Amino acid sequence: MLFWILLVHLVRQSGLNQGHPDLVSRAQTDVSCDCTINTCRTLFDIVWGCLVTIFACTWVALHQNVPDPQLGWHALLLRKLQMMAVMILAPEAIVAFACRQLISALWISKEFTISKTHGFFCTMGGFVMPEGHPVADARQFPAYISAIRDVNEADIMDHSKGDALAKSVAFGQALWFMTQCLIRITHSLPITQLEVATLAFAILSAFIRLLWWWKPLDVQRPIMVARSNAEFDPLQAENPTTTTYKADLLDNFFGLLTGGYVKYSPVSSTSVPSFYSTEVVSSDFPTLAALFFTGTIFGGIHCVAWRTLFPSAAEMWIWRMGSLVITGYPVLALLLGLGVEILRVREDILVAFFFFGLVVYLICRTILVVLSFTTLRALPPSIFVDVDWNKYFPHL
């Protein structure tokens, strides 16, 4: 409720008129910049600030599972770019994935009395048996927990490409961008559609960073652990001969949304899938709640640009409709999902709605990304007026 009250306030303050039917006449009476170094910003400043923030929200914020050690640098780069594409088109799905991994890591940490970093390393495929297969299934942990406890937490973090300082710097970049946008809105200074879209990324990346705070970043090599002589690995007993498993696009898609890989077993592969997380709880409610809640927030932030200036009326209405779709779809999906249990809605109706809505959602997300850049071609003079930061941080 507080979020929607704040959102309504921001929408009212984010623009000075309803839409933008005549940009030329509007620009003639708009607040202009006097072109001094302290009160002006350029188009390059706007685009560069947004791109740096988006990079921090995608490349730096994404904590991948441990890849196959045999992958080359080009395959690792492609794997990273694929996750970035998912982050750009559906960042709330990454939030749900991070939430699922956090739940698993906390359960593993409590159940086997190890650190949260150990718990994340287990669920991301960081520990492997001498044969090279991941120890990533909850049924395997009792057989390897003694060796896992012997691994020092500092040794795990030594494999990480980022520490608390690096994560704090990236988090600070996103926080600084959010502060700039909010200050401009409260001072009735307009912001571009690109800044609104970047603001949405920055806020959701904050959720992701917090959920993955104890997860090592970009680990390239797993740590080998030996099985205890007193225990046995039930998965190895079920799979005496194994073949390499490679998750295809469809597997990764369903794995991202549900966390389940029906055909996957750790002892049939040398790494875990990109969106794999150890299954430790039977209920998906926390993950789905994170998905729908952050999805609504992400779409709602795009509604902040409801009254900002657009080069044409058509682009204005396309943005508005796209914003409403990505805001309302998570709510409708949640209500329909509840209807399956409460109102006895047929599951095939739910599945049809889900896939049709997902296609429409991705189309709207793509259009909003494109509009974020195309609307930069015609900006009013007030866009280039910068905030007078001396009011907040007076120099001596």
Quick: pLDDT tens for 204-221: 888 888 888 888 888 888
Cα–Cα distance for residue pair 133/130, rounded to 1 Å = 8
> Quick one: DSSP state of residue 382?
G
Binned at pLDDT 50, 70 and 90, residue 2 comes out as very low
In a domain, 396, yes or no: no
Q: Is the pLDDT of residue 368 over 80?
A: yes
Q: Is the pLDDT of residue 276 over 90?
A: no
Which range of 158-172, 288-302, 363-377 scores highest in mean pLDDT? It is: 363-377
Average pLDDT over residues 255-269: 73
In a domain, 54, yes or no: yes
Question: Radius of gyration over alpha carbons of the chain, in Å?
Answer: 24
The pLDDT of residue 340: 61
Which of the two residues, 319 and 21, has the higher pLDDT score?
319
Long-range contacts of the stretch 318-322 (C-beta < 8 A, 24+): 318/367, 318/371, 319/193, 319/368, 319/371, 321/364, 322/364, 322/365, 322/367, 322/368, 322/371
Q: Is the pLDDT of residue 11 over 50?
A: no
Which residue type is seen at 180?
Answer: Q
The pLDDT of residue 148: 92
Closest CA relative to residue 336, chosen from 357, 316, 320: 357
The total number of structural domains in the chain stands at: 1
The pLDDT of residue 363: 92
In a domain, 2, yes or no: no
Supply the range of the domain harboring residue 101: 7-384
In a domain, 220, yes or no: yes
In a domain, 294, yes or no: yes
The pLDDT of residue 314: 93
In a domain, 366, yes or no: yes
Q: Is the pLDDT of residue 289 over 70?
A: yes
In a domain, 395, yes or no: no
Cα–Cα distance for residue pair 184/343, rounded to 1 Å = 46
Binned at pLDDT 50, 70 and 90, residue 160 comes out as confident
In a domain, 75, yes or no: yes
